[in-house]
Amino acid sequence: MNHTAQRLTFRPGQDGYEDELAGFQTGFAQRPDVVFAAAGTDDVVAAVAYAAEAGLPIGVQATGHGLPDASEGGVLISTRRMDEVVVDPAARTARVGAGVRWGQVVAAAAEHGLAPLNGSAPSVGAVSYTLGGGLGILAREFGYAADHVRSLELVTADGAVRRVTADSEPELFWGLLGGGANLGVVTALEIGLIPVTRLYGGALTFDGREVDPAAILRAYTAWTETVPDEVTSSVAALVYPDLPMLPEALRGSYQVTVRVAYTGGAEEGERLVAPLRAIGPALSDGLRELPYTESHTIHSDPDFPHAYYGESRMLEGLDTAAMERLLALTGPAADRMHVVQLNHLGGALARPAANAVPHRDARWLLRILSPLDGTDRESLREFYADVLTGVDRHVLGRSLNFTFASGDRTEGLYDDETRKRLAGLKATYDPANLFRRNYDVR
């Protein structure tokens, strides 16, 4: 049987092969034997059947933001054409296809006075983000995006098309949300939406050469102790490279930015952020009332494809001295650019939910991200191990969504109990481990 017949496929050397593989991460390439450019569930079924028959590993790509590693051979299912979003305003839900980016869902939901639990960047794929938990800009108030999933449609390794809810197949539902890429190709999600149309928040940036970054960190962490769950925030520090493509004001500057999102009123918002404004003179103050459709301006993540490596730590507590050392080693004294970010967790994120999203007791998510401009991952790994000394004292594990280009390293992604339970599901639904081109739970 030829499962590629009448399907849109690309093989190495054919026109369109490179374009189909192009994604946000440019640090390394996937070179599959065949790409199935899926337009719908039938194409995904055909691709899975083809791979199963040939015994080939299956990778999935929507946008390429979360590519774990380079790969050779096998089958790649490209889902970018499965980009339909249908909002049900009465039920406050949306059905999002496997290739949908968050920006589309935000726009479609806003037409009905609703919002999804999207993250910082509109270009990120909604499905994979949610399968990895999904830490959104309102995470402390509403929890992980995964906690709001009503149903998942997927194709498992046996080629079966399934619609899974918490009632129909509770164990598979549990495992897909947190371990999803391991158990099949999710073709669509039905997600809950929230009635939010506006926010108070934005970015407050300090010049890290004028205001001591360690003092900003201390003031920020003390401030987080005082805010309600309706406030979700993070702080980021980076030295911009001196590159001609950057606006002159950014080149070589050391910026420490506090990012805030609050669903309450503007007046109360102003009162809540006053201690942040009191930290010192701001380089820029973008704290304001804003429509939800502008929520991507809170983080202003880069929107151009590039090469990057990144690690994360889910932390129960912060060692202030170790954090200050980390900031000092990754700031202007470093020989290359690093972005350090600290997200305040807790609130609804700590509530138990019927899914495999781990490390719910974490109070902080620490992330380091570095461009891979001629830098090898091994030297960054060694550098990170050094700068994380002391910080790791409070570690629960690593974050699935914020572990970039980490290859096949899976340690710390799950606690032992979750991992064993996921491995059990893997043995049932993917015994030949076709879906091993991700963070493999086996």
Ligand X SMILES: Cc1cc2nc3c(=O)[nH]c(=O)nc-3n(C[C@H](O)[C@H](O)[C@H](O)COP(=O)(O)OP(=O)(O)OC[C@H]3O[C@@H](n4cnc5c(N)ncnc54)[C@H](O)[C@@H]3O)c2cc1C
Per CB under 6 A, residues contacting ligand X are 23-24, 60-68, 79, 98, 119-121, 124-125, 127-129, 131-135, 180-181, 185-186, 301, 401, 438
Residue 22 CB, nearest approach to ligand X (Å): 11
- Cβ proximity to ligand X: between 191 and 282 the closer is 191
Residues forming a β-bridge with 9: 36
Residue 389 CB, nearest approach to ligand X (Å): 26
Q: Tokens 């911009």: give the residue.
A: 240
Rg (CA), the chain: 21
Residue 188 CB, nearest approach to ligand X (Å): 9
* Neighbour-count burial for 208-235, b at 16+ CB within 10 Å, e otherwise: beebbbbebbebbbebbeebebbbbbbb
> In sequence order, which residues have a C-beta less than 8 Å from that of residue 291 and are 6 or more positions away?
110, 197, 198, 199
Residues forming a β-bridge with 344: 364
- Cβ proximity to ligand X: between 330 and 406 the closer is 406
Contacts 24+ apart (CB under 8 A), 194-197: 194/92, 194/114, 194/115, 194/116, 194/117, 194/138, 194/142, 195/92, 195/113, 195/114, 195/115, 196/114, 196/115, 196/138, 196/263, 196/292, 197/110, 197/113, 197/115, 197/291, 197/292
- Cβ proximity to ligand X: between 157 and 256 the closer is 157
Residue 29 CB, nearest approach to ligand X (Å): 13
Residue 181 CB, nearest approach to ligand X (Å): 4
- Cβ proximity to ligand X: between 58 and 108 the closer is 58
Distances from the Cα of 49 to the Cαs of 38, 107, 391, 400, 425, in angstroms? Answer: 13, 35, 46, 28, 20
Task: Quote the CA–CA distance of 99 and 37 in Å, as a whole number.
Answer: 11
Residue 328 CB, nearest approach to ligand X (Å): 25
Q: Tokens 């897909």: give the residue.
A: 176
- Cβ proximity to ligand X: between 97 and 269 the closer is 97
- Cβ proximity to ligand X: between 165 and 212 the closer is 165
Element holding 15 (H helix, E strand): none
Task: Quote the CA–CA distance of 229 and 384 in Å, as a whole number.
Answer: 31
- Cβ proximity to ligand X: between 181 and 276 the closer is 181
- Cβ proximity to ligand X: between 220 and 435 the closer is 435
- Cβ proximity to ligand X: between 127 and 219 the closer is 127
Residue 282 CB, nearest approach to ligand X (Å): 23
Residue 27 CB, nearest approach to ligand X (Å): 11
Residue 345 CB, nearest approach to ligand X (Å): 12
Q: And the tokens for 54?
A: 């040939």
Task: Quote the CA–CA distance of 263 and 200 in Å, as a whole number.
Answer: 6
Residue 25 CB, nearest approach to ligand X (Å): 7
Task: Quote the CA–CA distance of 106 and 83 in Å, as a whole number.
Answer: 14
- Cβ proximity to ligand X: between 330 and 403 the closer is 403
